[in-house]
């Protein structure tokens, strides 16, 4: 198969582009924003970020043999004497997206876009493993899903790939619409709508509007969307888009039912559409991960995977780092769910703990949920009902937001302690005996709650 290349004509067609020394340009087969990854046959796009300014590495990129560098037009004077093709644009971030759009139009792969308030990375990983049983698949690495990460994901896809799975995230209005326009999805899936990024998206209606922009772009491409029929903010969309619905609801096209639960909290599922019935154990903890699996299977069935291929894929699915990863010690099951947190994922974590019958006592070590804006106090306090409902015995809290939860839990006579500093929580955990307990650690990314997981692993592993 021919390599995908960016031609000189492609560069000339970039909006706002001016090209200096075009005669020396040779078509490039790689695009990068990392000067360390520059090689001959590549284009270096200089992005100004929070920690680094790519314009500081332009000469390095040219010295390494970059076919061209793309810079902001205001930076040109610095490189007037540099040898090599230089492309100036008004904004290199947008130029990166424009180049990705050029690349996307040269791909033969079918593109699947995934978003949602929770579960998008897990669903993307599950789907990638399943589809790899039949196709050559490329997917977003980690959760590199923003307006810069999506273009980089597109550049990672070659002419040999048959499927590209791209995760699209957001923390401000218009980001998913921007990414989706570059992606031009053939298929799209929204896992759910929940209270995420409320600081920027204002309310649940704002979250919904932002997420379904992925569906809108897919519709423009005459594509197919997958709708979570259990989500009341999504199930009404079945009349608006060409779709396949999935969920536990009886009206779903791909319908699931829970047949039980293993001692360690994994759901036993029966999933079926009109042609196929699959009975399996969800490889990951929790009902919400069972829902993620149902979504992935719905897509896999549409793309023609057989029952045996799906079974083979399920057997290869592994937990994702810091996302409900469990580890058994003597008389303790420790669960690391520290990657991130919002109200919906917190409640899902408590429900998962309740479903685990391995040990009777349930202990939650929780850090603040971020990006909730003016709803922060209320959303932290509202966790009280879920903690009580799911019979969490002891709750240990860290952060300003969790101070509000602490007061509510005390009112409900639920055992809890709030710690004024990380050091005080560390001291408490070091001296606290953990016996016959399921212990979960969770909080938003900025809380770095994984530090306490590492502490407990050392303590319990002695």
- Where are the chain's structural domains? 8-91, 107-314, 325-460
pLDDT digits (tens, 9 = 90+) for 157-176: 999 999 999 999 888 889 99
Q: Are 272 and 255 in contact (CB under 8 A)?
A: yes
Across the chain, what does the average pLDDT equal?
A: 95
b/e code 325-352 from CB counts within 10 Å (16+ = b): bbeeeeebbbbbbbbbbbbbbbbbbbbb
The model's pTM is 0.87
pLDDT digits (tens, 9 = 90+) for 99-132: 999 999 999 999 999 999 889 999 999 999 999 9
Structure tokens given for 172: 């401000």
* Residue 203: count of CB within 10 angstroms of its CB: 12
Q: Which residue has the tokens 């902001």?
A: 72
Alpha-carbon gap, residue 246 to 212, rounded angstroms: 16
Q: Which residues contact 376 (CB under 8 A, 6 or more apart)?
A: 369, 401
Alpha-carbon gap, residue 397 to 429, rounded angstroms: 12
Alpha-carbon gap, residue 365 to 312, rounded angstroms: 36
pLDDT digits (tens, 9 = 90+) for 221-279: 999 999 999 999 999 999 999 999 999 999 999 999 999 999 888 999 999 999 999 99
Q: Which residues contact 356 (CB under 8 A, 6 or more apart)?
A: 263, 264, 265, 285, 333, 438
Query: ∠30-36-42 over CA atoms, to 5°?
Result: 20
Q: Are 282 and 290 in contact (CB under 8 A)?
A: yes
Distance from the Cα of residue 371 to its chain's centroid? 16
Alpha-carbon gap, residue 7 to 25, rounded angstroms: 9
Sign of CA dihedral 55, 61, 63, 69: negative
Q: Are 417 and 392 in contact (CB under 8 A)?
A: no
Q: Are 254 and 300 in contact (CB under 8 A)?
A: no
DSSP calls for 360-429? SEEEEEEEPPPS-GGGHHHHHHHHHHHHHHTT--EEEEESHHHHHHHHHHHHTT-EEEEESSHHHHHHHH
pLDDT digits (tens, 9 = 90+) for 316-351: 999 989 999 999 999 999 999 999 999 989 999 999
The CATH superfamily assigned to 325-460 is Mur ligase, C-terminal domain (3.90.190.20)
* Residue 159: count of CB within 10 angstroms of its CB: 14
Q: What secondary structure letter does DSSP report for 88?
A: E
- At 205 the pLDDT is 80
Alpha-carbon gap, residue 84 to 275, rounded angstroms: 58
User: Is 250 strand, coil or helix?
Assistant: coil
292: pLDDT confidence band, cut at 50, 70 and 90? very high
pLDDT digits (tens, 9 = 90+) for 400-430: 999 999 999 999 999 999 999 999 999 999 9
Residue among 220, 226, 229 nearest 188 (CA): 226
The CATH superfamily assigned to 107-314 is Mur-like, catalytic domain (3.40.1190.10)
Q: What secondary structure letter does DSSP report for 232?
A: T
* Residue 15: count of CB within 10 angstroms of its CB: 10
Residue 201 has pLDDT above 70, yes or no: no
- At 141 the pLDDT is 86
Which one of 3.40.1160.10, 3.40.630.30, 3.40.1390.10, 3.90.650.10 gives the CATH number of domain 8-91? Answer: 3.40.1390.10
Q: Are 349 and 342 in contact (CB under 8 A)?
A: no
Q: Are 130 and 310 in contact (CB under 8 A)?
A: yes
């Amino acid at each position: 198969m021919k390599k995908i290349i960016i031609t000189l004509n492609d560069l000339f067609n970039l909006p706002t582009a001016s090209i200096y020394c075009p005669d020396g340009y040779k078509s490039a087969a790689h695009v990068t924003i990392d000067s360390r990854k520059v090689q001959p046959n590549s284009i270096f796009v200089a992005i100004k970020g929070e920690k680094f300014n790519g314009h500081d590495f332009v000469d390095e990129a040219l010295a390494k043999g970059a076919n061209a560098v793309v810079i902001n037009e205001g930076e040109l004077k610095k490189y007037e004497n540099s040898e090599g093709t230089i492309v100036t644009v008004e904004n290199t971030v947008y130029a990166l997206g424009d180049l990705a759009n050029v690349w996307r139009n040269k791909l033969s792969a079918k593109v699947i876009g995934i978003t949602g308030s929770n579960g998008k990375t897990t669903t993307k990983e599950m789907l990638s493993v399943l589809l790899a049983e039949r196709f050559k698949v490329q997917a977003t690495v980690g959760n590199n899903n923003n307006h810069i990460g999506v273009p980089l994901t597109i550049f990672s896809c070659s002419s040999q790939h048959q499927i590209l799975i791209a995760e699209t995230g957001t923390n401000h209005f218009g980001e998913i619409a921007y990414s989706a326009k570059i992606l031009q999805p053939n298929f799209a899936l929204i896992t759910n709508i929940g209270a995420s990024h409320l600081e920027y998206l204002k309310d649940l209606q704002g979250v919904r509007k932002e997420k379904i922009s992925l569906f809108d772009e897919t519709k423009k491409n005459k594509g197919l969307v997958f709708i979570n029929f259990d989500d009341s903010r999504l199930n009404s969309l079945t009349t608006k888009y060409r779709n396949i619905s999935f969920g536990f609801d009886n009206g779903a096209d791909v319908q699931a039912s829970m047949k039980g639960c293993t001692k360690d909290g994994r759901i036993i599922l029966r999933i079926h559409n009109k042609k196929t019935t699959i009975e399996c154990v969800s490889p990951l903890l929790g009902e919400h991960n069972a829902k993620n699996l149902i979504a992935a299977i719905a897509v896999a069935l549409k793309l023609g995977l057989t029952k045996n291929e799906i079974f083979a894929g399920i057997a290869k699915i592994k937990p994702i780092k810091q996302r409900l990863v469990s580890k058994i010690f003597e008389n303790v099951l420790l669960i690391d769910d520290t990657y991130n947190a919002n109200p919906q994922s917190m409640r899902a974590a408590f429900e998962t703990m309740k479903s685990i019958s391995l040990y009777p006592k349930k202990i939650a070590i929780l850090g603040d949920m971020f990006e909730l804006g003016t709803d922060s106090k209320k959303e932290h306090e509202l966790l009280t009902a879920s903690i009580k409902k799911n019979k969490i015995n002891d709750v240990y809290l860290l952060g300003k937001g969790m101070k509000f939860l602490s007061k509510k839990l005390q009112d409900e006579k639920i055992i809890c302690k709030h710690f004024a500093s990380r050091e005080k929580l560390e001291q408490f955990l070091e001296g606290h005996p953990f016996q016959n307990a399921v212990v979960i650690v969770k909080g938003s990314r900025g809380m770095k709650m994984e530090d306490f997981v590492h502490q407990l692993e050392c303590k319990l592993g002695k």
